[in-house]
Structure 1
Amino acid sequence: MDLNTSLATQSYAQARAAVPPKTGGSGPGPLFEQAASSFVDAVKAGEDVAKSAMTGKADPHALVQALAQSELAIETAVTVRNKVVEAYQEILRMPV
Structure 2
Amino acid sequence: MDFKTLQALGAYATGQAKGIRPQDTGAAPGAAAETGQKAPDFAATLADTANAAVSTLSQAERAAIDGLAGRADPHSVVAALTQAELTLETAAAVRDKVVEAYQDILRMPI
Correspondence for 2:55 among 19, 41, 47: 41
Structure 2: distance between partners of 1:55 and 1:41: 21
Name the larger-Rg structure: 1
TM-score normalised by the chain length of structure 2: 0.63
C-alpha RMSD over aligned residues: 1.1
Output one character per residue of 1:24-75: Cα deviation in whole Å (capped at 9) or x when no partner.
x843111011001000000000000000000000011011100000000000
Q: Number of paired residues?
A: 72
Correspondence for 1:32 among 42, 46, 61: 46
**Does structure 1 residue 69 correspond to structure 2 residue 83?**
yes
Structure 1 moving runs of 4+ over 6 Å: none
- Which 5+ residue runs of structure 1 have no aligned equivalent? 1-24
How high is the sequence identity, in percent, across the aligned residues?
44
Structure 2: distance between partners of 1:89 and 1:46: 33
Q: Which structure ranks higher in relative contact order (CA pairs < 8 Å, sequence separation ≥ 6)?
A: 2
TM-score normalised by the chain length of structure 1: 0.72
Correspondence for 2:105 among 87, 91, 95: 91
- Which 5+ residue runs of structure 2 have no aligned equivalent? 1-38
